Amino acid sequence: MRVEEVARVVEFLGTHTPRLDEKGRLFLPARFRAALAEGLVVTTGQENCLYVFPTEEFHRISTLMQGTSGSSRQLRDFVRVFRARAHPDVPDRQGRVTIPASLRAYAGLEKECTVIGNGARLEVWDSGAWSDYLAEVMPAYSSYSVGSEEVVPGL
């Protein structure tokens, strides 16, 4: 395999707490800026957070969705919302991206945000919602086994 054929693999990790400015721009954490410098797509995520993908990864996922059977109403609904709410952007020189008002409203974003790395994507949460989420899931998390087939199938 030639070097040109190797897909660029980005793994986002960690937790950061940037703020939205008065214009609805989010300062991307410095450690993620290089991976997103050529462009990104922000869209609705689960649990009222936003997903941020490098453009290439968003298109890869979108293409996979296109190739699935459209017979499931649930799948059609998910794909429609995932794509319809998608907002492409390119970070400015200071590493800021604009989060459209409709996406800020969906995620309840006002000023204090938490950005988490979740593998191939970032998630943007309202900081209060992120704290509430952690309070809800951490008691069960501490009892999970990483090697458990029921928690992570195929691991």
**pLDDT digit string (tens) for 103-140?**
999 999 999 999 999 999 999 999 999 999 999 999 88
Q: What is the DSSP string of 5-69?
A: GSPPP--B-SEE--BB-TTSEEE--HHHHHHHTT-EEEEE-GGG-EEEEEHHHHHHHHHHHHTS-
CA distance 50 to 73: 23
Range 10-141 classified under CATH 3.30.460.10: no
Question: What pLDDT, on the 0 to 100 scale, is given for residue 75?
Answer: 86
Radius of gyration of the chain (CA): 17
pLDDT tops 60 at residue 55: yes
CA distance 122 to 79: 19
Q: Domain residues of the chain, as ranges?
A: 10-141
pLDDT bin (cut points 50, 70, 90) of residue 2 is very low
Is the model's pTM score more than 0.85?
A: yes
Contact indicator for 58, 50 with CB cutoff of 8 Å: no
Neighbours of 21 (CB within 10 A): 13
Question: What pLDDT, on the 0 to 100 scale, is given for residue 9?
Answer: 64
CA distance 113 to 128: 8
